[in-house]
A and B are shown apart, each in its own frame.
Chain A
Amino acid sequence: MTQERTEDRLLQKALVGVGRLFFTLFVPVTAFFIFFKIFIFLRDGNAPQLVMTLIAIVWGVGGVAALYFLGYWLISKLSGKWNKSLLPYLFVGPALVILAWYLFIPTLRSLYLSFFNDTSMEFVGLANFLYCFTDEDMLISYRNNLIWLIVGTSFASGFGLLIAILADRSKFEKISKILIFLPMAISFVGAGVIWRFVYEYKPAGEDQIGLLNAIYTAFGGTPQAWLMIQPWNTVFLVFIMVWMWTGYAMVIYSAAIKGVPVSLIEAGRVDGAGEIRIIAAITIPYIKGTIIAVSTTILIITLKIFDIVYTMTGGLFDTDVVASMQYKQMFAQHDFGMGSAIAVLLFIAIIPVMYLNLRQFGQQEGFK
């Protein structure tokens, strides 16, 4: 009797196990089947567009949510150890896959293409790179990028710091900070349009509609075609970026300055330091980490700068930068090899700055 019972129980257990396994497989398979059917329907169906749109939204958003829930449900069936080690990948995984698809693979592909000719058919070795380092236009673009780097970063970061320090002691802190931060809300292209008017040139004798020329002629100068004067035209372009990014630097510096303990400043005052000395010897060293983080961030932006040059001059009058050269090679000349080679160079140039930047942000987290 007892033996029969044990056998019965074993059989029961086995059946339950098989049932469970079947169920755990059945749910995801059915789910995927449904998703696929809807996908086919969306692709080939011919319901009214509104209906299709609604179904697509529900399918897209609901599908992603359902996938997460399903994944979570499946993982929660596993034992505690597996559960813990797999769960993070469920949530990070999709993002990693998408990043790899759109970022990592294209990078490798660019590297690969940079060793081939314009049609990507013939291996040319380092010829593209050789050209990059000898061509005069390319050399000018390096020079320009260097101007962007040095002038852009130092002025945006410097003005930001100066304004943050001044605003901290001003009654009009809020309004002045809002005004200076405002350009951040404009795209580079939008800023380009605005600044074209600032730099606008009309021959002498005509009304100067450009702000800069209007001021310049009011003081007795003859109108200048600012964007044609080399190499200053690049500096004029850089100031558009400075105008936009000073606000960013200022906001971050301002927050950092507010974090300097008041007693430190007071100790400095009792010790006999003047206000400028206090800023130089206490405030700035205290926010050094923030200064590095902000400056490297702006450095990366100037390295990649493209939009302003493209919208303002299109690279004429020797204002090209590396990124605009790449664009030209890739999409105007259709030289994929050359375009990729320039992209690779730019990428390599950014790596050390990026490293510095990330390390600084990491350290700041670590301080807290």
Chain B
Amino acid sequence: MAGVRLEKIEKTYPNGFKAVHGIDLDIRDGEFMVLVGPSGCAKSTTLRMVAGLEEISGGKVLIGDRLVNDVEPKDRDIAMVFQNYALYPHMTVYKNMSWVLKLKKKPADEIDRRVRQAADILGLTDMLDRKPKQLSGGQMQRVAVGRAIVRSPKVFLFDEPLSNLDAKLRVQMRVEISRLHTKLKNTMIYVTHDQVEAMTMGDRICVMELGRIKQVDTPTNLYRYPANTFVAGFIGSPSMNIVSARLNFDGDTCYVDSQNLHLRIPDDIGKKVRQYDGKAIYFGIRPEHIHARETNPEAADNFFNMEVSVVENMGNEVYLYFTPGNSQYIARIDPDIPVRSGDSHEMWLDTNYIHLFDGETKENLIYKPKTQ
């Protein structure tokens, strides 16, 4: 087993398009690292450069302590699981899983033992004689994972492995892959565009945008301390409310003023942003920190009273959409509080959980994220 280190990795395509702009990423031995971002953020390209399927235009990729820039994929000691499974259609499940060992010229009894072991872990024992065509999507994905397991590689690479599955199966496979990681303890790099997968599976998450890393941290830290508006908006569902505003100080008291709101900021936060007095900023607040007034009758400030344009009932919680002017706020409230769309409702913002971002750089002003 081994960690993976990317040093100033770059990818420039022959037509001059620069997809990856000098990425630095240190993936620890045995870590489950998720690369997440919207489509076009080059997360797959990055993974494929680690796999050796994409040429590296600049920088270094190290697996363990070995520089692998010019090493063939087969010699990098990695295994990859593809989005469309990439099972060999003319081979049985057994052959699909054993082929890699056969190519490595392992003895027959060892091949058999390892294939059966992997099949056992994944519950594929009854399907070893079937062809991929006879399998369901979930089973095919399991075979693809099995093909990776049998070779017991240093690093597992997953390229959006669950996006071809239906929602229910996706949740199930998500848990299975997490369980697999707990069991095997290999280094795993997992690419997805789905922030829920990232949050639930990753030891750490690397959020990417347009070929650059926006933040690398644990799921909890990403959620609590997003480094910038991009991460703040990307992680969490429904997204954080992010609104352009202005910071104003009245004595030592800090206020955030936007088109519709006048918010008093707690002093301990205010202290940290003193130098931004009078400047344009963005403030962010997660939907669960906008409460119905009923839940906190004693609160003295930070209210707003607006018309609810849409009510979405999830059963365990209710989302309220407020659309004053061209901005939008989403609140997440208790389903027992009766609210109908079209009604006006008084809401309270818990500014203890407010995020303040620089108006230009969009970096977080309150929390300085740990560098990795």
Contact = CB atoms under 8 A, between A and B. Distances in A.
A267 interface: yes
A263 interface: yes
Interface residues of B, number: 22
A263 B88 CA distance: 10
Contact of A266 (B82, B88, B104, B151): B82
Most chain B CB inside 10 Å of its own CB: which residue of A266, A269, A288? A266
A270 interface: yes
Contacts of B103: 271-273, 277
A263 B82 contact: yes
Nearest to B100: A271
A261 interface: yes
B261 interface: no
B80 A264 contact: no
A285 interface: yes
Interface in A253-291: 261, 263-264, 266-273, 277, 281-282, 285-286, 288
Given A271-B99, A271-B103, A272-B100, A266 B86 contact: yes
A266 B54 CA distance: 10
Interface in B94-109: 99-100, 103-104
Contacts of A268: 88
A285 B86 contact: no
* Size category of the binding interface on chain A: 10 to 19
Nearest to B48: A266
What DSSP secondary structure best describes chain A's contact surface? helix
B51 interface: yes
A266 B74 contact: no
A282 B90 CA distance: 8
A266 B80 CA distance: 9
Interface in A25-51: none
Nearest to B54: A266
Nearest to A268: B88
A264 B88 CA distance: 7
Nearest to A288: B90
15 contacts: A261-B86, A263-B82, A263-B84, A267-B80, A267-B86, A269-B73, A270-B51, A270-B74, A270-B78, A270-B80, A271-B100, A273-B99, A282-B88, A286-B89, A288-B90
Closest 5 CB pairs of A and B: A272-B74, A267-B86, A263-B86, A285-B90, A271-B100
Interface of B: 51-53, 72-74, 78-80, 82-84, 86, 88-90, 99-100, 103-104, 147, 151
Interface of A: 261, 263-264, 266-273, 277, 281-282, 285-286, 288
